Amino acid sequence: MILSAEAGELLAVVCGSAVGFSLALIGGGGSILATPLLLYVVGVRDPHMAIGTSALAVSANAFANLWPHARSGHVRWRAAFVFAAAGVAGAWLGSSVGKAIDGHRLLALFALLMLLVAFLMLRGRRGGGPDRYPLPHAVPRLGAVGLAAGGLSGFFGIGGGFLIVPGLMFASGMEIINAIGTSLFSVGAFALTTAGNYAASGLVEWRIAAEFIGGGVIGGWLGALGAHRLSRTRGALNLVFACVIVLVAIYMLYRSAQALRG
């Protein structure tokens, strides 16, 4: 079924709201649904176009959510700059490789990544301890982990927060609350680098990205309002959301297999 332009625009806003809502409500995982939503709901037909467009939307949402964490003192700026500087180089390289791969094969790999994300959501995050490594000693670790996380983020066209948070904790020993706040800077930088690389090849739907971002702002505001009331049920929300990711991943594998056979 071919949707009208107005219906497609409305769906982009609604899908963006769903991603922003889930991110604000449960603190992660929502951005990985951006690409399948653009493909199978909004109706973006080219997998590479969907990845480039979602990367731009993820970047904008990450930078928008960075400010509240910075105001609360949960962003370690020097560590963020070191991690992001190395990761941006990785994101550019990874996104260049991703563009060169057949779109349906890339989606199949993306679906496998979604299954990993669902597993990590069900496993939960450990709290970590206080910041253990002084920055001068942590720079090599931050650079190496940042480069790897940025490469994977660029390859799949995602923000990569589920990789960046544990990466920051491993490389610098910072507490999880600081790693979450600090990660948003890298998420925004990596996704923006990926979006720029895809945009250079004409693989970003700018209007859809703007609608998706606008919806994400609305959804994020609603999710923030509901986060406190639903905090006691966050474990159940994580379970439900992980199950949604698994179902979407299975559907993506099925569609990709069909396309590759055809």
pLDDT of residue 128 exceeding 80? no
The vertex-177 CA angle with 186 and 35, nearest 5°, equals: 45
Tokens 């910072």 map to which residue?
174
> In whole numbers, what is the pLDDT of the chain averaged over residues?
83
Note the pLDDT of residue 83: 95
Coil, strand or helix at 131 = coil
pLDDT of residue 12 exceeding 80? yes
DSSP one-letter code for 32:
G
Return the higher-pLDDT residue of 169 and 207. 207
Against a cut of 0.75, is the pTM above it?
A: yes
Chain segment 97-116, per-residue pLDDT in tens = 999 999 889 989 998 988 88
Taking CA atoms, 91 is separated from 57, 112, 133, in Å, by 16, 19, 25
pLDDT of residue 2 exceeding 60? no
Note the pLDDT of residue 1: 45
Note the pLDDT of residue 4: 61
Q: Output phi, psi for 254, to 5 deg.
A: -65, -45
DSSP one-letter code for 160:
-
Return the higher-pLDDT residue of 223 and 247. 247
Note the pLDDT of residue 124: 64
Taking CA atoms, 136 is separated from 33, 80, 164, 172, in Å, by 37, 13, 20, 10
Note the pLDDT of residue 48: 93
Number of separate domains in the chain: 1
Q: Which domain holds residue 46?
A: 5-261
Chain segment 15-55, per-residue pLDDT in tens = 888 887 777 666 556 668 889 999 999 989 899 999 999 99
Q: If residue 133 lies in a helix (H) or strand (E), which one and from where to where?
A: none
